[in-house]
Amino acid sequence: MHAAATSTPERQAFYDRLAPNNLAPLWEVLGALITREPQSPCIPAFWRYGDVRPQLMEAGRLITAREAERRVLILENPGMPGKSCITHTLYAGLQLILPGEVAPAHRHSQSALRFVIEGNGAFTAVDGERTLMRPGDFIITPSWTWHDHGNETEEPMVWLDGLDIPLVGFLDASFAEPGNAEQQMETKPVGDSLARYGMGLMPVDWKPATPTSPVFNYPYDRSREALETLKRADDWDPCHGLKLRYVNPATGGSPMPTIQPFMQLLPAGFRTESYRSTDATIYVAVEGSGTSRIGDASFHWQPHDVFVVPSWCPVRHEAGPESVLFSFSDRPVQQALGLWREDRQARAA
């Protein structure tokens, strides 16, 4: 971009006369509006689950799931304090449901994912179908679908929420509605959507009504089995190890129109090459341990830890033992708009 125009008293007086008419000179701000590279306020950040969990359990003692509607501790990016977001376009938080509790039914414009961190056997219900939640499961709550959560087990249930709240808010497209009852009436058996749409089969006359996947629970045991089988080919991407994207079985595209989730395997001792892309990405460590170098920051992670890689920030992962990472980003939006870029030869982090 051109150098900034020189300021003079005459020019400043002109600018002052523009302001009351809701006008402003583009040449004074052009360099900040159209930057040479992404310049996000999002910064590398890390949340150690061992530190967060006691605070989450304290929240469980202080407020009920019914009172809170959703008992969640927001993972707020330190570069954007008070904005309730983890990246410019995405929100993330850790949700707790204690034994015997119900998070009441509601629906909203925002699309949501759940990635199960702790506990086994609580449920989430979407439009009349329950699914049981197990560690490592990736679960979708599509936009404007009724959903509630409940825990009929004897242990706490914790999962990571990921939503497109900032993106929907930026578009001024947010709607929400409370349910008439705490829990929905079950209209489908558990596992119906996976059996109906997720086995390489589809009902013969079914046509998708929305861009969201008709499968709303992607069980971890199936994801892990896929990684285990594919690693035998010993075909490791230098930037990602073995990285798979979850898909909508009806289209082959992202399971969610605004959020793309991924699962990747890093073999023991594997060190990725430096990589960057325009989609800021949230990671959750699932198995193993390792270190991620993000720009000038370095984070050592273990299972359940969460960290974020800002847009266009070089990242390099190094595994200790064999490790698995779940991640998600706003890549589908960027790709739909023709904006997504990657750099596989990024300046070494």
Task: Per residue of the chain (349 residues), give pLDDT as tens.
Answer: 556 678 899 999 999 999 999 999 999 999 999 999 999 999 999 999 999 999 999 999 999 998 999 999 999 999 999 999 999 999 999 999 999 999 999 999 999 999 999 999 999 999 989 999 999 999 999 999 999 999 999 999 999 999 999 999 999 999 999 988 777 777 888 888 998 888 888 888 888 889 999 999 999 999 999 999 999 998 999 999 999 999 999 999 999 999 999 999 999 999 999 999 999 999 999 999 999 999 999 999 999 999 999 999 999 999 999 999 999 999 999 999 999 999 998 665 4
Contact partners, residue 223, CB within 8 Å, separation at least 6 = 136, 138, 244, 246, 263
Q: The pTM is what?
A: 0.94
The residue to which tokens 């997504």 are assigned: 340
What pLDDT, on the 0 to 100 scale, is given for residue 220?
98
Handedness of CA 114, 285, 54, 73 (dihedral sign): negative
SS3 315: strand
Q: How far is C-alpha 54 from the chain's CA centre? A: 23
Looking at this protein, which amino acid is placed at residue 321?
P
Tokens representing 249? 């079985």
- Spatial separation of the C-alpha atoms in residues 12 and 17, rounded to whole Å: 9
Number of other residues whose CB lies within 10 A of the CB of residue 82: 6
From residue 200, alpha-carbon distances to 186, 190, 311 in Å are: 25, 19, 35
- Spatial separation of the C-alpha atoms in residues 232 and 247, rounded to whole Å: 22
Domains of the chain, each with CATH number or no CATH:
42-343 (2.60.120.10)
Task: Give all strands of the β-sheet with 217-218 in edge-to-edge order.
Answer: 72-74, 91-97, 157-163, 112-118, 138-141, 217-218
What pLDDT, on the 0 to 100 scale, is given for residue 349?
45
What pLDDT, on the 0 to 100 scale, is given for residue 196?
86
Residue 28 is given by DSSP the state: G
SS3 225: helix
Tokens representing 205? 């006359």
- Spatial separation of the C-alpha atoms in residues 31 and 271, rounded to whole Å: 37
Contact partners, residue 115, CB within 8 Å, separation at least 6 = 136, 137, 138, 139, 159, 160, 162, 261, 284, 326, 328
C-alpha torsion angle, residues 338, 344, 346, 349 (rounded to 10): 120
- The residues with which 124 forms a beta bridge, in sequence order, are 131, 149
Handedness of CA 246, 248, 251, 256 (dihedral sign): negative
